């Protein structure tokens, strides 16, 4: 499901069963990350599938990339793999107005 920046942030804040998934490359993550996110690069192809398959399917996944298209693709893949609740951040990280941290902090 695609959510606007505001809806994504609000729903995430109220969700006690949430996992934030960043599907960008390691280089892109150097520009900053949404706090407490885990990174699995969708460009890993089959490696992405293996890593995602190891995740807890009972959690709710809030997925983002740089602009919103890779995360939408990731949500579709995850849905096909049996994840019931995936939420795509429309506009991605480049439009994110919330808190940002850097991976090496």
User: Percentages helix, strand, coil for the chain, rounded to the nearest 5?
Assistant: 40, 20, 40
CA contacts within 13 A on the Cβ side of 65: 18
Residues involved in catalysis = 65
Give the integer Cα–Cα distance in Å for 75 and 69.
10
Give the integer Cα–Cα distance in Å for 9 and 105.
22
């Amino acid at each position: 499901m695609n959510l606007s920046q505001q809806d994504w942030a609000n729903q995430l804040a109220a969700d006690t069963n949430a996992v934030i998934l960043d599907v960008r490359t390691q280089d892109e993550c150097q520009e900053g990350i949404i706090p407490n996110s885990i990174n699995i690069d969708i460009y890993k192809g089959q490696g992405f599938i293996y890593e995602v398959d190891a995740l807890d399917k009972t959690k709710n996944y809030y997925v983002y990339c740089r602009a919103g298209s890779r995360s939408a693709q990731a949500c579709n893949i995850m849905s096909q793999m049996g994840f019931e609740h995936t939420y795509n951040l429309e506009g991605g990280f480049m439009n994110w107005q919330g808190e940002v941290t850097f991976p090496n902090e």
